[in-house]
Amino acid sequence: MRDEKNEANENSKNPRSCDAIHGLELQDSEYFRQIADNLQVVFAISNGDLSKFLYVNRTYEDIWGLPVETLYANSRSFLEGVHRDDKDKFEQALERLIQGEPFTDLECRVIRPDGSIAWVSCRGYPVRGAQGQIYRLVGSAQEITERKLAENQIRESEDRYRDLVEHSQDLICTHDLQGSLLSINDAPLRILGYRREEMLGRPLRDFVTPEARPHCDAYLAKIQTDGFAQGLLPVLTKSGEVRLWEFNNSLRTEGVSSPIVRGLAHDVTEQKRAEAELGRVTRQLLKIQDEERHKIARDLHDTTGQNLAAVVTLLDRVKHSALSSKNQEFISECHKIAIQCLQEIRTFSYALYPPMLDEAGIESAIRQFANGFIEHTGIRVEVKVTPALERMSSEVELALFRVVQESLVNIQRHSRSRTAQIRLDRQDGVVLLDASDQGVGMQSSKSGVGITSMTERVKHCGGTLEIESSDSGTIVHVRVPINETKH
């Protein structure tokens, strides 16, 4: 093996000479150079104290953006291209390498002369002679810019997701198929009053009211079958308060070792309380309105209507008395107007509150109103009522009548249909009402207060109201449970 002095002299004459690396005991140094120069990784060999580079392949120029000759002139010039925030750790690793300590996967940034930045992963290890002395250092640097950019994008995405989860006011969690919580964000912990360790690993049913636990079990069964589930669950806080959570959860099976459920829920307690209070106030207003309508209708019928009827009778008598033709004509006109007023008073009184509803029940009231509606509008109304309808509570009968009344008025005002159908049935303790037409359908801008009042009336009776509307017509479906008759 040649001594360092002779080798230095040869390299000074030809710094790229293949003879410079014969110290690695390669049989064919030219063959080695061809391989090394075609590597996509920087490969370099220096003497034992890094004071002189003996070989550097051309990949260095691609990554550092500098000629390899600069390294032969100044063995530490490559450090000038290392980012200032990474230079200290790189220099420390090099000093340890000179002392015989190898390093691997040292990542740093390289700033090229044109200002572009490349990420590299560096390795270095010492080569020892027969006596154990370090006489060569071998290093490599592989560009990992694309990988680092991808990692940064993933990290930024994870940071955004983590920020979203941590600052969300909704519940965001995961649980297994048995319902045991695997993760949960901070917001529900604050609302429910638990520490994270008090919730993780415990089943969901531990945190709902006892009455809701069967619904919780049904939810777990549904999400395993369908892959998704949504609904409302009453959740208990640590202090015992009940909070209502509206959830929308989905099952994840891909990319995980075992299936997990992704949960998203929103605390709707205050919203539901506000809706309940609004419903209570609305029903109270409707009750007051009905009572006032009933009073006005009764007064119109018993007082104003009777007085007009007396006027009609008197005018009829006067009309047949001995009067001049001019007075006869005058009295006849007054008689006609009085009859018209009497009819309008009766119609108005009936619209406010039909006496037939109390006297004969919902079927008679609907048929009477439909007949008047046909006469007034010309719209043909078909009424079908099951023979087994029987009487219902006054509250239910009034609610059903108001739905029919409002539906027919909407048909007249909006649908442009010339026909309408009212069907009333009773099956298994439930009264079924359908009001339909063949018009142009219902526009959202025309739903108005009438729909709201109908919905609240039916809801107050424990029933449901649904509306199906398309360009071929509208159907109002009402379902009300009937427990007993109250009159």
Q: What is the mean pLDDT of residues 400-425?
A: 90
What's residue 219's pLDDT?
93
Asked whether the predicted pLDDT for residue 447 surpasses 60, the reply is: no
pLDDT at 486 over 50: no
Same domain (yes/no): 206, 120: no
Paired with 181 in beta bridges are 175
**What beta strand segments (E) does 11-102 contain?**
42-47, 53-56
Q: Return the bridge partners of 171, or none.
A: 265
Q: What range defines the domain where residue 241 resides?
A: 168-267
Task: Give the CA distances from residue 464 to residues 384, 430, 457, 467, 471, in Å, rounded to whole numbers and listed in that order.
Answer: 21, 11, 10, 10, 24
- Burial letters 349-366, b for 16+ CB under 10 A, else e: bbebbbebbeeebbbebb
* Whole-number percent of the chain with pLDDT over 90: 45
DSSP 212: G
Q: Where are any strands of DSSP class E within 144-259?
A: 171-175, 181-184, 228-236, 242-252
Looking at the structure, tell me whether residues 119 and 136 fall in a common domain.
yes
Within a domain: 61 = yes
473 and 425 in a common domain: yes
Residue 438's Cβ-side half-sphere holds a number of Cα atoms within 13 Å equal to: 8
Q: How confident is the model at residue 18 (pLDDT cuts 50, 70, 90)?
A: very low
Sign of the alpha-carbon dihedral angle for 339, 345, 349, 352:
positive
Directed axis angle between helix 325-352 and helix 305-319, to 10°? 160
Contact present, 9 and 15 (Cβ < 8 Å): no
Using CB atoms within 10 Å of the CB of residue 297, give its burial: 0 to 12 exposed, 13 to 18 middle, 19+ buried: buried
What average pLDDT does range 436-464 have in this prediction? 78
Give the pLDDT confidence score for residue 485 in this predicted structure: 47
For the ranges 96-110, 313-327, 414-428, the lowest mean pLDDT is seen at 313-327
Q: Encode burial over 209-245: b for 16+ CB neighbours within 10 A, e otherwise.
A: eeebeeebeebbeebeeeeebeeebbbbeeeeeebbb
Q: Are residues 20 and 136 in the same domain?
A: yes
What's the mean per-residue pLDDT of the chain? Answer: 84
290 has a pLDDT exceeding 80: no
Write down the pLDDT at residue 483. Answer: 67
Residue 164 has pLDDT above 70, yes or no: no
Whether the per-residue pLDDT at 201 is higher than 50: the answer is yes
**Structural domain contains residue 173:** yes
Q: Per the domain annotation, does 278 fall within a domain?
A: no
351 or 437, which is more confident: 437
Residue 27 has pLDDT above 90, yes or no: no
Do residues 107 and 120 make contact, with C-beta atoms less than 8 angstroms apart? yes
The type of residue at 119 is W
Is 163 within the bounds of a domain?
no
| One domain for residues 345 and 376 | no
Residues 371 and 474 reside in one and the same domain = yes
Q: Are residues 453 and 424 in the same domain?
A: yes
**Closest to 389 (Cα-Cα) out of 475, 487, 485:** 485
Helix (H/G/I), strand (E/B), else coil: 92: helix
Domain boundary among 304, 332, 353: 353
Is residue 115 predicted with pLDDT exceeding 90? yes
Quote the distance between the C-alpha of residue 111 and its chain's center.
Answer: 45
Domain boundary among 149, 184, 216: 149
Is residue 30 one of the residues assigned to a domain?
yes
Note whether 342 and 368 are same-domain residues: no
Residue pair 144/121 in contact (Cβ under 8 Å)? The answer is yes
Instruction: Tell me how far apart the terminal alpha carbons of the chain are, to the nearest angstrom.
Output: 120
Per-residue H/E/C for 266-328: EECHHHHHHHHHHHHHHHHHHHHHHHHHHHHHHHHHHHHHHHHHHHHHHHHHHHCCCCCHHHH
Q: Are residues 334 and 368 located together in one domain of the fold?
A: no
For residue 479, count CB atoms less than 10 angstroms from its CB and return exposed for 0-12, middle for 13-18, buried for 19 or more. middle
Residues 341 and 294 in one domain: yes
How are strands ordered across the β-sheet holding 473-481? 380-385, 419-427, 430-437, 473-481, 464-470
| CATH classification at residue 87 | 3.30.450.20
- Is residue 255 situated within a structural domain? yes
pLDDT at 25 (0 to 100): 46
Same domain, residue pair 36 and 129: yes
160 or 39, which is more confident: 39
**Same-domain status, 252 and 345:** no
User: CA-to-CA distance for 18 and 333, rounded, in angstroms?
Assistant: 131
Domain boundary among 353, 374, 402: 353
Model confidence at 359, in pLDDT bands (50, 70, 90)?
A: confident
Under a CB-based contact definition with an 8 Å cutoff, are residues 206 and 237 in contact? no
- pLDDT tops 80 at residue 11: no
Q: How many helices (H) and strands (E) does the chain have?
A: 16, 15
The percent of residues in the chain predicted with pLDDT above 70, rounded, is: 88
Amino acid (one-letter) located at 97: L
Give yes or no for a contact between 118 and 42, defined as CB atoms under 8 angstroms apart: no
Cα distances (angstroms) measured from residue 13 to each of 7, 16, 19, 471: 10, 9, 11, 94
Residue 40 lies in a domain: yes
Q: Quote the tokens at residue 388.
A: 């087994």
Q: How many domains does the chain have?
A: 4
146 band by pLDDT with thresholds 50, 70 and 90 = very high
Stretch 331-335: mean pLDDT: 84
**Looking at residues 276-292, what average pLDDT do you find?**
79
For helices 448-460 and 269-299, angle between their N-to-C axes, nearest 10 degrees: 100
R_g over Cα of the chain: 45
Is the whole model's pTM more than 0.75, yes or no? Answer: no
144: left (phi over 0), alpha (psi -120 to 50) or beta: alpha
Residue 399 lies in a domain: yes
